[in-house]
Amino acid sequence: MKIMSKIRTAFFCQNCGYESAKWNGKCPSCGEWNTFVEERVLKDIPHKQADWKNNDTTSPRTHKIINLAEVVTKDEERILTPDNELNRVLGGGIVAGSLVLVGGEPGIGKSTLFLQNALQLKHIKTLYISGEESEQQIKMRADRIQNSNEQFYLLTETSTQTIFQEIKKLQPQLVIVDSIQTLHSPFIESAPGSVSQIRETTAELQRFAKESNTPVFLIGHITKDGSIAGPKVLEHMVDTVLQFEGDQHYAYRILRTIKNRFGSTAELGIYEMTGTGLRQVTNPSEILISQREDLLSGVAIAATMEGMRPLLVEVQALVTQSVYGTPQRTATGFDLRRLQLLLAVLEKRGGFHFGVKDVFLNIAGGIRVEDPAIDLAVLCALLSSYEDNAISPKICFSGEVGLSGEIRAVNRIEQRIAEAEKLGFEKIFISRYNKKGIDFSKFHIEVIAVGRVEEVYQRLF
Ligand code: TYD
Ligand code: MG
């Protein structure tokens, strides 16, 4: 029943979710321009109607002042999934009553990842709510993953009211919503995917998760600029934000923790998309380094860290004579400005003439590396291609390069060295400043400490 007089409109910033009675050119909250959109909302609807319980019982929690010392903590209940990558990223399994948001570009494999996990949790009654695909489509995907589970239930529905009715009947132990942008609450007038809808439906699901102690996963699309479509408030409302990323043209996918109330945000899970679903990658370094017999110039291996995990990646560079007036610089998986900076360092400190060369840089495997310790390998790959002189595949590098050509120390050097040793490398180049307080005698790999770019060059070529 809709009563016209109760309908009101408000303006919402599409970036941060700020609500205003009038239109603003610039958002007073986040400072973005032209982000206000008018949305229709209903006036003062008591929220308990939308609640999953649908009755008047008040929350069992009583609020009174309590001395912190009297608060009893108990270990969080966690559901361990057979997927160790997911467990790790969540900080050790799915926390009861937690609300987890998973973002990722369309087609990256979010639905596959959660369908697959739900199908593997044989003893957990799981409800998968899909607003995007039909039962047949999901069944086809499940067949492709080659897994079935008697405790797996499917609901293709987008109205939160109906969803909560069904949840009340089924009493699931885990709920997955694919995707939050398709849901709509009957208490809000605006279209699914709008700021006010996303905010309201998430709030309803949050209440459900907390009051019933059921974990809820929300799948969300991200926009071109990489943020989860919908307001930033969404990220504040949930306990954990995960991001699923990767290059569409490669099989590798990375699940990253952006925010986690129950664990570290430095965690990372790696998967490979196969013809039968996602496969956990337990030893990522081995696949990220291409197997090769012959020596190629322009290739250098970097000992990087992705979160808490050491990861050896291959850097490929191609330096050729420029045929046009302005030399080209292209980087895939590495920051272009950082590449330009390294080229300037080589030009100025090493006297190399990159100004007349086209430079192409690629990180193998389609992954993106943010760790500054990759600098040294990038620099050596560039030099190797410039000189057309191959670097032995038994050598790897870990160091940041400063503007004056100095090799700077990086964090967790021991872990990096240990990983390189484990993978059979014979030499690793690190910064001289990383030597302090570390006992290198325990390593069998030869550790070469260098202070400047010139030293590396002399040692290599
Ligand atoms: P999907 O999970 O639908 O992505 P999202 O939910 O993030 O939009 O996965 C999309 C892609 O994954 C699609 O291009 C097909 C591919 N895929 C495989 O390669 N192997 C598989 O087993 C499955 C299920 C999907
Ligand atoms: Mg999907």
Q: How confident is the model at residue 55 (pLDDT cuts 50, 70, 90)?
A: very low
**Ligand 1 pocket mutation, candidates 115, 273, 274, 280, criterion most atoms within 8 A of CB:** 273
Atom of ligand 1 nearest to the CA of 145: 22
Residue 401 has pLDDT above 90, yes or no: yes
Instruction: Specify the CATH superfamily of domain 78-282.
Output: P-loop containing nucleotide triphosphate hydrolases (3.40.50.300)
Residue 50 has pLDDT above 70, yes or no: no
Is the CB of residue 338 below 6 angstroms from any atom belonging to ligand 1? Answer: no
Burial of 28 (0-12, 13-18, 19+ CB in 10 A): exposed
Whole-angstrom distance, CA of residue 340 vs CA of residue 424: 32
Helix, strand, coil shares, percent, the chain, to 5: 30, 30, 40
Is the CB of residue 248 below 6 angstroms from any atom belonging to ligand 1? Answer: no
Whole-angstrom distance, CA of residue 117 vs CA of residue 102: 14
Tokens of 40: 């229709």
Is the CB of residue 362 below 6 angstroms from any atom belonging to ligand 1? Answer: no
Q: How confident is the model at residue 3 (pLDDT cuts 50, 70, 90)?
A: very low
Nearest in space to 117 (alpha carbons), one of 102, 132, 97: 102
Is the CB of residue 111 below 6 angstroms from any atom belonging to ligand 1? Answer: yes
Whole-angstrom distance, CA of residue 111 vs CA of residue 141: 9
Q: Which residues pair with residue 269 across a beta bridge?
A: 255
Q: Which residues pair with residue 241 across a beta bridge?
A: 101, 259
Tokens of 138: 């999901």
Non-local (6+) Cβ contacts of 114 within 8 A are 102, 128, 176, 178, 217, 219
**Which one is predicted more confidently, 41 or 237?**
237
Is the CB of residue 273 below 6 angstroms from any atom belonging to ligand 1? Answer: yes
Q: How confident is the model at residue 317 (pLDDT cuts 50, 70, 90)?
A: very high
Map out the domains of the chain as residue ranges: 8-41, 78-282, 286-460
The chain-wide mean pLDDT, for the chain, equals 87
Q: How confident is the model at residue 56 (pLDDT cuts 50, 70, 90)?
A: very low
The strand pair at 400-401 and 309-321 is best described as: unpaired
Average pLDDT over residues 87-91: 93
Whole-angstrom distance, CA of residue 364 vs CA of residue 290: 8
Residue 2 has pLDDT above 60, yes or no: no
User: What is the b/e burial string over 429-440, where b = at least 16 CB atoms within 10 angstroms of the residue's CB?
Assistant: bbbbbbeeeeee
Give the residue whose CA is nearest to atom 13 of ligand 1: 107
- Does the domain at residues 286-460 carry the CATH identifier 3.30.230.10? yes
**Which one is predicted more confidently, 255 or 41?**
255
Give the residue whose CA is nearest to atom 14 of ligand 1: 107
Between 336-350 and 453-460, two packed helices, what is the crossing angle to 10 degrees?
Answer: 80
Is the CB of residue 226 below 6 angstroms from any atom belonging to ligand 1? Answer: no
What's the predicted TM-score (pTM) here?
Answer: 0.76
Give the residue whose CA is nearest to atom 12 of ligand 1: 109
Is the CB of residue 112 below 6 angstroms from any atom belonging to ligand 1? Answer: yes
pLDDT at 70: 83
**Which one is predicted more confidently, 336 or 229?**
336
At 166-205, the pLDDT tens digits run 999 999 999 999 989 999 998 888 888 888 888 899 999 9
